[in-house]
């Protein structure tokens, strides 16, 4: 089997990933599907594992599997046993901490699949691929520019944050010093981050305009040097998303 055949079977298009992120981010947060189609609901938590494996993100697959497995174990089994302990009811502080832990675990469990896929999408997708995918599904350029800026903003912002943290470390503001000097640490961290955020957003917007991306495109069209086609795995994911939305709407109406 050649490389072209493997790509036809196992590659995932950017538009498919975007649809999958939106589907998981919407369906898993709401409780309608969990109440009526519990098996399908819990099956959706395994979908990011397949996507990460296909894109050869083995480290991300391992981290996600451990996190999602631990959260499901805590939510479905351990919290039920812990909630029956008598000393939790007798101690208001422990009871409050337990309630906060349960809430955070439930919330993290619901948003983790969409967050993992979204993070992977941002880290693994080039800007030209995003532009081409959005143009392919006829998204207006008025929306393409903000989306492209957002996709490039977070990686650039992360690099800027590392530089600021390194500069703070040279000033002795790291580790325990955050606790002993909180206001000074916040001052040296937040102000550079805010200024960097404004500058990064402006630079990315100017770069997008320079490359010919305008809200009102002229007769000159952006030429992409590559084309994509949907693979068999794309069609399987599209069917999965379609079935998920049908079940979700049915559970919502009922």
pLDDT tens profile 40-94: 888 899 999 988 888 888 888 899 999 998 888 887 776 655 555 555 566 666 6
pLDDT range class, residue 2, cuts 50, 70, 90: very low
The pLDDT value recorded for residue 11 is 77
The pLDDT value recorded for residue 242 is 94
Q: Where are the domains of the chain?
A: 11-125+228-254, 140-223
The pLDDT value recorded for residue 219 is 44
CA distance 106 to 100: 10
Could you tell me which residue, 107 or 174, shows the higher pLDDT? Answer: 107
106-138 as b/e: b if 16+ CB within 10 A: eeebbebbbbbbbebbbeeeebebbbbbbbeee
Give the tokens for residue 204: 């990315």
CA distance 33 to 30: 7
Could you tell me which residue, 42 or 210, shows the higher pLDDT? Answer: 42
Asked if the model's pLDDT at residue 254 lies above 70, the reply is: yes
**CB 18, CB 51: distance < 8 Å:** no
Rounded to the nearest integer, the mean pLDDT of the chain is 76
What number is the average pLDDT over the span 167-187?
69
The pLDDT value recorded for residue 197 is 75
The pLDDT value recorded for residue 62 is 92
Token look-up 């470390």 returns: 169
Question: Residues 6 or more apart from 168 whose CB is under 8 A from it?
Answer: 174, 185, 188, 189
pLDDT range class, residue 241, cuts 50, 70, 90: very high
List pLDDT tens digits, range 157-166: 777 777 877 8
List pLDDT tens digits, range 112-146: 999 998 888 877 777 777 777 777 777 777 777 77
The pLDDT value recorded for residue 6 is 55
């Amino acid at each position: 089997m050649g490389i072209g055949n493997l790509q036809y079977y196992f590659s995932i298009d950017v538009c498919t990933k975007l649809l999958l992120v939106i589907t998981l981010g919407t369906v898993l947060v709401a409780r309608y599907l969990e109440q009526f189609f519990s098996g399908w609901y819990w099956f959706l938590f395994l979908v990011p594992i397949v996507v990460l494996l296909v894109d050869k993100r083995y480290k991300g697959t391992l981290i996600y599997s451990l996190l999602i497995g631990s959260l499901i174990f805590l939510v479905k089994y351990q919290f039920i046993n812990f909630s029956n302990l008598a000393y939790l009811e007798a101690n208001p502080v422990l009871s409050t901490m337990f309630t906060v832990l349960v809430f955070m675990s439930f919330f993290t469990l619901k948003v983790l699949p969409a967050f993992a896929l979204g993070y992977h999408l941002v880290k693994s997708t080039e800007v030209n691929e995003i532009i081409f995918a959005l143009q392919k599904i006829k998204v207006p350029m008025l929306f393409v520019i903000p989306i492209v800026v957002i996709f490039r903003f977070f990686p650039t912002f992360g690099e800027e944050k590392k530089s600021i943290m390194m500069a703070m470390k040279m000033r002795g503001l790291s580790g325990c010093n955050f606790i002993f000097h909180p206001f000074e640490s916040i001052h040296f961290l937040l102000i550079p981050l805010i200024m960097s955020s404004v500058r990064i957003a402006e630079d990315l917007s100017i770069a997008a305009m320079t490359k010919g991306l305008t809200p009102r495109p002229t007769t000159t069209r952006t030429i992409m040097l590559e084309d994509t086609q949907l693979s068999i795995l794309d069609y399987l994911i599209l069917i999965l998303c379609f079935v998920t939305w049908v079940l979700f709407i049915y559970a919502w109406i009922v």
